[in-house]
Amino acid sequence: MTLEDMFGLKGRVALVTGGSRGIGKMIVEGFLAAGIERVYISARKINEIEETCAELGDRVVGIQGDISTMDGIEALVAEISGRENKLDILVNNAGAAWGADYLEFPEAGWDKVMALNVKTPFFLTQKLHSLLTAAASADRPAKVINIASIDGLRINPWETYSYQASKSSLIHLTRRMAARLVKDHVYVTAIAPGAFPSSMNKVARDHADQSAQGIPNKRVGDKLDMGGSAVYLASRAGDYTVGETLTVDGGIVNALLPSHFAEAI
């Protein structure tokens, strides 16, 4: 038994949506460290895609697009299908958030978040089914990793109604998809991140020390935490983990004492 046997991704091809920055980029870096052959990243902003591809090297291939709509999903699937005859790993990471007072929360803030955070992972995975099954076997299953959030596991103090509902939905959707796709040797799991620096979590990004005070292990997450967790689920090491959501949060959800709850959130 070697580390390569357990965690190596040599010869595999992945797609990471929202892979040009934040948690998506951390996952891409983890896959590269594990020896993956090629990683496609999708995002809306071409400048961010180009910057990330230039930084991370020629094993990272960028595709611009908006996958919040079915047309955008179909376009991404067509692009990948034109380049690859199989897909070993899909990471559904692209997401959105919206905050507003309960009495003023708009329909647009509901529909946008639910579409990208719940509808898109389902339909993108569905449309990529033939590429995923082409890569899949009992000895080396294909992997789908949905990026949820600890906000799908517990209530936070912010009025992000559709975001919290969407992430809770995605965790349960992960279980339902896993139950169906396991027979095709496509294993579906999820990661529920806590405080990781990103454009969606500006507090963790811009005020890491302050944010860390409410976390039991006293720091925000970094690319080793996220990249390592994704590699575990994507590699042979994670082949016996199906339908589960891996919480990666420094102890907020499961280790936090009730008296510290208000401080942490």
Residue 67's nearest CA partner among 40, 31, 92 is: 92
Residue 145 and residue 191 in contact, taking contact as beta carbons nearer than 8 Å: yes
Kindly tell me the burial class for residue 17, based on how many C-beta atoms sit within 10 Å of its own C-beta (0-12, 13-18, 19 or more): buried
CA distance 98 to 106: 9
Residue 252's nearest CA partner among 149, 158, 167 is: 149
> Active site residue: 40, 102, 161, 163, which one?
163
> For the chain, where are the alpha helices, taking DSSP H only?
3-7, 22-33, 46-56, 70-83, 107-114, 120-127, 129-135, 161-181, 202-206, 208-212, 223-234, 261-264
In the residue annotation, 232 being an active-site residue is answered as: no
CA 85 to chain centre: 23
For the chain, how many helices (H) and strands (E)? 12, 7
Any idea what the Cα angle at residue 30 is, between residues 29 and 34, rounded to 5°?
A: 115
Residue 144's nearest CA partner among 73, 241, 259 is: 241
List the catalytic residues: 163
